[in-house]
Structure 1
Amino acid sequence: MTWQDDAGRDLVRSFGDRMALFVRGEGAYLWDADDRRYLDFLAGIAVNSLGHAHPAFVEAIAGQAATLAHVSNYFATLPQLELAGRLKRLSGTGDSGRVYFGNSGAEANEAAFKLARLHGGTERPRILALTDAFHGRTMGTLALTGKPHMQEPFLPMTPGVEFIDSTIEALEAALDERVSALFVEPIKGEAGVIDLPDGYLRAARELTERHGVLLILDEIQTGAGRTGEWFAFQHAGITPDAITVAKGIGGGFPIGALITFGAASDLFYPGTHGSTFGGNALGTAVSSAVLAEIEREDLVRNAAERGEQLRAAIAAIDTTLIDGCRGQGLLIGIGLRHPLAKAVVAAAQEHGLIINAPNEQTIRLVPALNIGDVEIDEFISLFTAALHTVEHALLLDATPTEDVPAGAVLSDRRESE
């Protein structure tokens, strides 16, 4: 029996086949069960902000676990209060802000969904979200996720959510006094690292204020310094009514949060929401230590600078496959000319590089925020080798036609394997 047999027998199939069995990590590197080393430019899908086994992360877990891990939300703990204050400061909520803690991004968005309902009541039954958005897989957050193929097996969805195109014109046409909230990802990560149109967040803030609508930003993938600001909305110079955060704020420990601004902070009242484990002392201590390390090492600036460095290096690769880059900071989407993303990911893994394909024509890079020259140089070498492997395979594949490029044939073959 192999580990693949064990996984196939014992784990639910919702994730498909696991691509490798990793046993340890250090910094930007992972090692599999055969002790082969990989450069990790996925970082747990934008989770491992400090990389693997960072001393600040390890020490925070060990130190807090030795004192107090969990007491429930009937009581407060010092780590919980420290993290709430830190998140308020970093997001700029001011004294009026409040923080609700959960265990994941989906839980943070569930809380935000409830916030929208509390604001709207029966007078404002409509909630707007963007087509091709992703906000989670729970029944509530799936209703906010603008991907019909994901919703279809679980219909009917929670009612009231309407999806609009990601344009200012569509937003202007959809907003009225019956809308309670607008949910927006500043960059649509799961859609392929898709940037919003220039000026979209500023226009959304102006229009939602005009109509009394909450502007709720999903910063689960874009937060914690990933885009070169602490939160992506700060690039636009606006103040939302609420943001949801998770992933990178825990550095590998499961934690999520809803952060409210201004009047939205007074919508929840006792009994309207809760979580047994949310905001426990262990999780909040680890998150606070991770965010403190990001501050101490100025990794927000590093994300901005290394993102530019990566984009320039990618643009210089001699390849016919790449069709530009999207995103900000260290949230990078590499567009491909043909639906070859899965083939490129597979080839990259063969060369010792971990990357991700959110769709058939996009490669997503979300490495640790503390990467430097050594990791970037190695990435370019391995990624170039992977691209050339795919290009070579194309020459051996079927001749491209106008309707079916050779890349599609290769991608289908790799997927079936």
Structure 2
Amino acid sequence: MLSPRQLFLQHQAQTTDFPLLLEVERAEGVFMYGPNGERYLDLISGIGVSNVGHRHPKVLEAIQDQLGKYLHLMVYGEIVQATPARLAHALAQTLPASLDNVYFVSSGSEAIEGACKVAKRFSGRTELIAFNNAYHGSTQGALSLNGSESFKRAFRPLLPDVRHIKHNLMEDLQQITSRTAAVILETVQGEAGVRVPDQEYMQALRARCTEVGALLILDEIQSGFGRTGTFWAFEQCGIVPDILTCAKGMGGGMPIGAFISRQEIMHSLKNDPMLGHITTFGGHPVSCAASLATLQVILEEGLLAQVPAKAARFKERLVHPAIKEIRNLGLMMAVEFESFDILKAIIDNAILKGVLTDWFLFCDNSMRIAPPLTITFEEIDEACVLVLRAIEEEVRF
């Protein structure tokens, strides 16, 4: 009989020529375990997904409870289901009053697609403005917004009427005009290597969108659900978007996403044409149950208040001449090295020592650190010791 590794390589589509090929038998908390007792401390949370850790007991309990009732019933928006309705209400309670209408989808990319569609439909305009080094997903619409030409040139032609401007540059805001349907920005640029815009810039962006009647879409697919120390990263900017997208950390390990706005904007999808955005599995009750439990865990277990001190602990411990800079907003962190070759050797060595890290798509000389918010200070210390050992073994001065 073929092993899981052989089946994976023969029959499961690959995304690179060098997959990690870690075999994971089970996971719990901040750890993943291999079939032969290997233990890996997960410093990337499935790329910002497992914000409350792997298999949090309250998330598992919520999933099990929903499994005893029903699974998929009907395409999105036709049948009243208690769990999605309660999740929508709970999300609204974390947000300003103007963000009170939630459309559930299956992924972050679909959240971006829906947000851009509703922005075009409501505004009657066609131009979308995104940013250099932005990452919003891999479907063709989301890919059109991405800011790295090397990542998308093989798939052109993409969406027309998409403009890119420089991140955090005041002068470029003048390119937002009365033709612009929406400006879409990651509140913290993720795949660019954790780039946090100035607060003054964010406020000027908000003011410019308001001035010309363009909608402001903030992408919090990576930064939402407590990752940065507030439930939503935009809370730290002093602004409110017109449309918000989320996914990744909102599901507690289950697939789910959403785009959120005010009713006036969202209702424009109901007519001309009706069913302006439809999805079969969006708002799946099991995913919504997991998401609601995740939201409650973050708030009830006080995880937000712990983020600054845990981020500070990483920065205190990760000190080495090979580390050029550490950028972060909360536990969304980038540790910069001289080159990709150096970083890749460190990542591979750290895996052998039992710590899983990663790099960024558009910043391949920086190590991604985005652990579960539940990580303890002792686990942070353990992870940092092992990463520093990997650095020592791979970098010579």
TM-score range, shorter chain: over 0.9
Aligned partners of 1:41 and 1:366 also within 8 Å: yes
Once residues 25 and 277 of structure 1 are traced to their aligned partners in structure 2, the CA distance between those partners, rounded to angstroms, is 26
Once residues 50 and 175 of structure 1 are traced to their aligned partners in structure 2, the CA distance between those partners, rounded to angstroms, is 38
Once residues 152 and 309 of structure 2 are traced to their aligned partners in structure 1, the CA distance between those partners, rounded to angstroms, is 38
2:15 match: secondary structure: helix
Cα deviation per residue 1:34-77 (whole Å; 9 max; x = unaligned)? 21111111110110011112101111111101112221232010
Matched, 1:379 2:383: yes
Partner of 2:114: 111
Equivalence map 1:180-195=2 (5 Å): 180-195=181-196
Report the CA distance between 1:309 and its aligned residue. Answer: 2.1
Once residues 296 and 15 of structure 1 are traced to their aligned partners in structure 2, the CA distance between those partners, rounded to angstroms, is 40
Once residues 384 and 366 of structure 2 are traced to their aligned partners in structure 1, the CA distance between those partners, rounded to angstroms, is 17
Two-structure CA RMSD over aligned residues (Å): 1.6
1:159 match: secondary structure: coil
Cα gap change, 1:267 to 1:201, in 2 (>3 Å): farther
Aligned partners of 2:55 and 2:253 also within 8 Å: no
Report the CA distance between 1:199 and its aligned residue. Answer: 2.0
Matched, 1:137 2:141: no
2:94 match: secondary structure: helix
Worse-matched range after superposition: 1-10 or 107-116: 1-10
Equivalence map 1:155-174=2 (5 Å): 155-174=156-175
Matched, 1:197 2:198: yes
Worse-matched range after superposition: 376-385 or 213-222: 376-385
1:5 match: secondary structure: helix
Percent identity over the alignment is: 32
Aligned partners of 1:93 and 1:260 also within 8 Å: no
Cα gap change, 1:98 to 1:107, in 2 (>3 Å): same
Cα deviation per residue 1:268-295 (whole Å; 9 max; x = unaligned)? 2141001111112111111001110111
Partner of 2:308: 304
Report the CA distance between 1:321 and its aligned residue. Answer: 0.9
Cα deviation per residue 1:1-53 (whole Å; 9 max; x = unaligned)? 65443322111122443311111111111111221111111110110011112
Once residues 292 and 61 of structure 2 are traced to their aligned partners in structure 1, the CA distance between those partners, rounded to angstroms, is 12
Worse-matched range after superposition: 187-196 or 6-15: 6-15
Partner of 1:58: 60
Q: Which 5+ residue runs of structure 1 have no aligned equivalent?
A: 396-417
Report the CA distance between 1:146 and its aligned residue. Answer: 1.1
Matched, 1:313 2:317: yes
Report the CA distance between 1:241 and its aligned residue. Answer: 0.1
Matched, 1:370 2:378: no
How many residues are matched?
387
Q: Structure 1 counterpart of 2:39, which letter?
A: R
Partner of 1:80: 84
Aligned partners of 1:241 and 1:262 also within 8 Å: no
Aligned partners of 1:60 and 1:286 also within 8 Å: yes
| TM-score, L = length of structure 2 | 0.94
**Structure with higher RCO (Cα < 8 A, 6+ apart):** 2
| TM-score, L = length of structure 1 | 0.89
Aligned partners of 2:118 and 2:266 also within 8 Å: no
Q: Structure 1 counterpart of 2:197, which letter?
A: L
Aligned partners of 2:170 and 2:201 also within 8 Å: no
Partner of 2:101: 98
